[in-house]
Chain A
Amino acid sequence: MSRPSVEQVWQWLDGVPDPEIPVISLVDLGIIRDIAWTQDTLQVTVTPTYSGCPATTLINRDIEAALRARGIEKLKLVRRLSPAWTTDWLSEKGRRRLEEYGIAPPQPSGSPARCPRCGSDRLEKISQFGSTPCKAQWRCLGCLEPFEHFKCI
């Protein structure tokens, strides 16, 4: 097969969902740092979100499966720690989809801007952690629904 372009590979990976928050892609999450060809080997550079995130192994497996399915034979996954992942790398599309899904996207202030369900800005923090390492639990004082906030780091 002919070598697919790097842009094409970015597009393919934008179709691979995050295993824990499947409404956003790995590209939306900002963890794919680089895609490059070295002769006939495709090198994909990935950074972990949290050092202990159990999804990291699964993510590497999903990347590999997606690219193998597209006919990539020689593939190398490289881990990059620095610069450390930040929620600033979340795409605009990813932020929108998080909110539609009911997860408040990260804000520079560290607190969610509004309730993802009713839009109220009267909110309280329930816990600094949530169902995954990347989220915290909040509650809306308007509609009283609890919701998750994507932690800002």
Chain B
Amino acid sequence: MTREEALFQFLLRLGDNTLVLGQRVSEWCGHAPVLEEDIALANTALDLIGQTQLWLNLAGEVEGKGRDADKLAFLRDVWDFRNLLLVELPNGDFGRTMMRQFLFDAWQSVLLGRLMNSAEPRVAEIAEKAGKEVAYHVERSSGTVVGLGDGTEESHARMQAALDYLWPYVGEMFAPDEVDEEMARAGIAPDPAGLREEYDALVGRVLDEATLRVPEGRFFHRGGKNGARHTEHLGHMLTQMQWLQRAYPGASW
């Protein structure tokens, strides 16, 4: 794998994470428990889709085959997606959506902080822009996790169930492969394993305050970031997300 090929894959991972999560979160539009949360979720989704445009346009530029963010988002099939399995999981209830958001926001905030010092200036400037938005996201999602975790008996039980369900999808964030090794060698991105300590400290602090317990066990699901084994949920999501471009190729407004 050349450095350019690895960079392309790395950028797809960043852009597909925000794209798939942005699409998932936008599914809440009009369905959230209260109006304020509905608006907050839609705004979070909007930020994520905006970040997607930056990452995937850069990916297309690096690839050099004339694909832009729209082409990459709407004209690839499941096996070409490079997002973490965590973000493609169905929303579940509001609590599970917010727990997933928090687990992802925390990781993104740590990662973007490091990417601001990337040897690739085009990566560093996107990280700087997105980092400000993500700092705001993590403030909200951690606050909601604490509010619901340390809330009523019902909300606590739901948040603990959400954490138990989602935790085995966290490990994939920190498992390096040849793309990550090449990025680390080039000084473009940090070794993912090196983010774990900061992540665990941040997540641990919030979950403690939320009176939630991190499940035991080291097992984790993998296969999203290299596209080898997505869950069955991603394909269903893409049928909705890509429907218009598949039915009416090239349609625009």
Q: For A54, list chain B residues within 8 Å (CB).
A: 46
Instruction: Indicate whether A52 sits within 8 Å of B39 (C-beta atoms), given known contacts A82-B128, A84-B129, A153-B136.
Output: no
> Are B40's CB and A52's CB within 8 A?
no
**Count of chain B residues with Cβ under 8 Å from any Cβ of A?**
27
Residue of A whose beta carbon sits closest to that of B132? A153
Q: A137 in the interface, Cβ–Cβ < 8 Å?
A: yes
Selected from A81, A137, A151, the residue in CB contact (under 8 A) with B136 is A151
CB distance from A85 to the nearest CB of B (A): 8
Give a binary string over B150-186; 1 marks a CB under 8 Å from any A CB, 0 the rest: 0000000000000000000000000000000000000
> Are B128's CB and A52's CB within 8 A?
no
Q: B120 in the interface, Cβ–Cβ < 8 Å?
A: no
Q: Chain B contact residues: over half helix, strand or loop, or mixed?
A: helix
Residue of B whose beta carbon sits closest to that of A79? B54
Instruction: Indicate whether A129 sits within 8 Å of B54 (C-beta atoms), given known contacts A82-B125, A82-B129.
Output: no
> Are A133's CB and B43's CB within 8 A?
yes
**Interfacial residues of chain B within 61-96, with CB under 8 A of chain A in the complex:** none
Q: B130 in the interface, Cβ–Cβ < 8 Å?
A: yes
> Are B129's CB and A52's CB within 8 A?
no
> Are B40's CB and A84's CB within 8 A?
no
Instruction: Indicate whether A84 sits within 8 Å of B128 (C-beta atoms), given known contacts A127-B37, A153-B136.
Output: yes
Report Cα–Cα, A84/B42, bound state, in Å.
22
Give a binary string over B210-249; 1 marks a CB under 8 Å from any A CB, 0 the rest: 0000000000000000000000000000000000000000
> Are A129's CB and B39's CB within 8 A?
yes
> Are B132's CB and A52's CB within 8 A?
no
Q: For A84, list chain B residues within 8 Å (CB).
A: 125, 128-129, 131-132
**Interfacial residues of chain B within 43-58, with CB under 8 A of chain A in the complex:** 43-44, 46-51, 53-54
Report Cα–Cα, A85/B42, bound state, in Å.
21
Residue of A whose beta carbon sits closest to that of B39? A129
Give a binary string over A8-41; 1 marks a CB under 8 Å from any B CB, 0 the rest: 0000000000000000000000000000000000
Q: A51 in the interface, Cβ–Cβ < 8 Å?
A: yes
> Are B128's CB and A129's CB within 8 A?
no
**Interfacial residues of chain A within 34-79, with CB under 8 A of chain B in the complex:** 48, 50-54
Q: B139 in the interface, Cβ–Cβ < 8 Å?
A: yes
Residues of chain A having any CB pair with chain B under 8 Å = 48, 50-54, 81-86, 126-131, 133, 137, 151, 153
Residues of chain B having any CB pair with chain A under 8 Å = 36-37, 39-40, 42-44, 46-51, 53-54, 124-126, 128-133, 136, 139-140
Apart from A51-B133, A126-B36, what are 13 other A-B pairs with CB-CB below 8 Å? A50-B133, A51-B130, A54-B46, A81-B125, A81-B126, A82-B124, A82-B128, A83-B128, A86-B132, A128-B140, A129-B36, A129-B42, A130-B43
A-B pairs, 8 with minimum CB distance: A52-B50, A51-B50, A127-B36, A82-B125, A129-B40, A52-B46, A129-B43, A81-B125
